[in-house]
Amino acid sequence: MDGPFTDAVMTTLEKFYEGLEQFLPNLLAALVIIAIGWLVAWVLKRLIRRALVLARFDQFCDTTGASQVLARADIRAAPSECAGRFAFWIVFISFLMIGLSALNVGVIDRLIAEFFMYLPKIFAALLILFVGFLIGNFLSRAALLAAVNANMPSPRAISLVVKFLIAILAFAMALEQLEIATSIVTAAFIIAFGAVMLGLALAFGLGGRDVARRVLEKQFLEKKEQEPDEFSHI
Amino acid sequence: MAENDWLPEPLREQLKVIGEVDILVGIPSFNSAQTIGHVVRAVQAGFAKYFPRERTLLINSDGGSTDGTPEVVRSASINDYHTILATHPLRPVHKIITPYHGIPGKGSALRLVFGVARELKAKACAVVDSDLRSITPEWIDLLISPVYREGFDFVAPLYHRHKYDGTITNSIVYPLTRALYGKRVRQPIGGDFGFSGRLAEHYLAHDVWHTDVARFGIDIWMTTMAITGGFKICQSFLGAKIHAAKDPGADLSAMLMQVVSSVFSLMEAHEEHWKRVRGSQPVPTFGFEYTVGLEPIRVNVDRMVQIFRTGLRELGPLWETILTPETFREIKRIGHTDENSFRYPSSLWVRTIYDYAVAYHKALINREHLLKSLMPLYLGRIASFVLETPEADADEVERLLEDLCQEYERMKPYLIQQWES
């Protein structure tokens, strides 16, 4: 049965065997790294959750309104739990990438290198969004309280405009950080921001001319007519 | 001397020359040129009429006025003591005009007065506001004599006021302070006080001069520290309190926030003290009390109720976080009654304030937001009070206030229970 065909088959099988011999330890190493990664990520998740509970992070999120943002996004878990899960997935994905790189596959190596170079930008973008949500929530609540206490019309609308503008700003900054179509995002932000302002101006000046008059009259004329209370509160 | 190192050097030089005094009156000021001259003359007349043999000092602690307040103080004097039925003082009346340093505010100004009192070993002191129009020489006697002659350490003022005046004091500060600390000090944030040198030392021993006490919370802080420190407390009836008209644009919401935050902060600092106190005792009162007829005044109840209803509509979710479910349910119920039958019952109001105190203590939401969200509820309560008492005279209003105070005292176990939960 000796012949060129048999040689070719045998050579291929030998090469496959050699390849398998080289690959299997790499695969095993990758699986071990991933398993260790899962374990490390799980321990870290527990540690972070415990530390945040001790640091009263959940109460802090309640105070700043971050919990309400999570609730509105239908995330029912406590903020400390969310932070723990987030850390788990970041660590686990990092170990997964390291594990995959142990396979010594050129394409995967390139992708992993790119992933690690991109990771800080993802962090920065997430941080910008989180801080943006916190600031937006805080300022919109401050605007709502000020508008209610000043007896202004439509306090909710004022508060929503504040929140919306800050959300747009945070979103645009996050996208710019991720370098996703930077010039388009910047242009889109300017256009969107300008459009909101122009829209408000048009709505107030043309579409809602009568409403605008009534609101302004209520704010200024009626206020002048309404004499202040004659007693001292303090 | 080392304890008073923080006093400005030129002032310390002046104090060295004076040596010691028996009586000291401090006037904190900031841009009060229009009114302070009258206050200074009233103090000088008070010294001449009631303390002619004592060594006296008037000190003006100024916050950097730009309207010539120090010059007015310097030039103000009594030309003819005979017209005020007093003899010329037998001993010189010292007068010091000095700027204070530190955080701008009445607290920093009074810290300097306390420091001078300690330096000069003053036996009895008083502080009076610089914008008073109704101060008379008798005020000095009424604020100083209980300390100087009767051995008291703290004299709170007692004013004759319109039945609707001082609504923050009447609905929150007085009944809450009384229920917490057990002393019936009717004007705990009156602004004009008498105190002993011993109490001035006690005030200086507390390092609060970089907090809100230095800015706006000094009045309630002085009263609370005097009570919790176990000092002998009384009050003096001073008559009407009329002061320069405040800026009409002054933000009520900010004022309410400052006053309530001062009281709530003190609750945290003196938790162990007030938890032990049950009931309340009256404090001795000096002076000749009288009442006068009530002038009808303008009160815009509709606007107050409107703000309350807007608050209920817009701040409902926020109130739900702050208040207990039972309190919030009741507030929702009264929000749906019609204009004329609108009532905010005392028991509900007390629960509201106690819930806010607990929410402040637990920092359930940002504290500034928390306190600002109280404003529509406060206006609702005031509107209800005005609707309940259109024909009531001062005595009747005082009786209603007494009922409210007793409600605060009765519900104190509820406060403690919520505080500790």
Region B141-160: mean pLDDT is 96
pLDDT score of B248 more than 60: no
A156: nearest CB among B162, B314, B364: B314
State which fold the A118-225 domain adopts: Helix Hairpins (1.10.287)
pLDDT band per the 50, 70, 90 thresholds, residue B353:
very high
For the sheet with B56-62, list strands across it: B93-99, B56-62, B23-29, B124-127, B193-196, B154-160, B233-240, B285-286
pLDDT, tens digit, for every residue of A211-221? 666 666 666 66
State mean pLDDT over B111-140.
Answer: 95
Q: What is the mean pLDDT of chain B?
A: 91
What domains sit in chain B, N to C, each tagged with a CATH number? Answer: 2-286 (3.90.550.10), 301-420 (no CATH)
Q: What is the rounded distance in angstroms from the CA atom of residue B312 to the CA atom of residue B318?
A: 10
The label of the residue with tokens 């686990």 reads A92
> Are the CB atoms for A225 and B303 separated by under 8 Å?
no
pLDDT digits (tens, 9 = 90+) for B7-62: 988 999 999 999 999 999 999 999 999 999 999 999 999 999 999 999 999 999 99
Cα A22 from Cα A28, distance rounded (Å): 11
For range B395-418, the mean pLDDT: 95
How crowded is the C-beta side of A179, counted as CA atoms within 13 Å? 5
Q: How far is B287 from chain A (nearest CA, A)?
A: 23
- Domain spans of chain A, in order of start: 1-104, 118-225
Residues in contact with B373: Cβ distance below 8 Å, sequence separation at least 6, in sequence order: A145, B311, B315, B318, B319, B322
Quick one: pLDDT band at residue B250, thresholds 50, 70, 90? Answer: low
A209-218, B134-143, B317-326: which has the minimum mean pLDDT? Answer: A209-218
Which of A214, A127, A231, A226 is closest to A178 using CA atoms? Answer: A127
pLDDT tops 90 at residue B271? yes
pLDDT (tens digit, 9 = 90+) per residue, B74-105?
998 877 777 777 777 777 789 999 999 888 99
List phi, psi (to 5°) of B126: -145, 155
- Which of B255, B306, B369 shows the shortest C-beta gap to A145? B369
ipTM of the complex: 0.84
Residues of A in Cβ contact (< 8 Å) with B164: 231
pLDDT of residue B1: 47
* Cα distance between residue B276 and residue B278, in whole Å: 7
pLDDT band at A66 (very low <50, low <70, confident <90, very high): confident
Residue of A nearest to B299 (CA): A229
Cβ within 8 Å, pair B300-A229: yes
Candidate from B165, B298, B306 with C-beta closest to A232: B165
More confident residue, B132 or A188: B132
Cβ(B400)–Cβ(B388) below 8 Å = yes
Query: How much is the pLDDT for B376?
Result: 96
CA atoms within 13 A on the CB side of B320: 8
Q: Is the pLDDT of residue B307 over 80?
A: yes
- The answer to whether A141 touches B293, Cβ cutoff 8 Å, is no
- Mean per-residue pLDDT for A166-187? 83
Which has the higher per-residue pLDDT, B378 or A11? B378
Is residue B125 within 8 Å of residue B28, measured between CB atoms?
no
Quote the distance between the C-alpha of residue B21 and its chain's center: 26
- pLDDT tens digit sequence for A131-176: 898 889 889 999 999 999 998 888 999 999 899 889 888 988 898 8
Sign for the CA dihedral angle at B1, B5, B6, B8 comes to positive
For residue B36, the model assigns a pLDDT of: 95
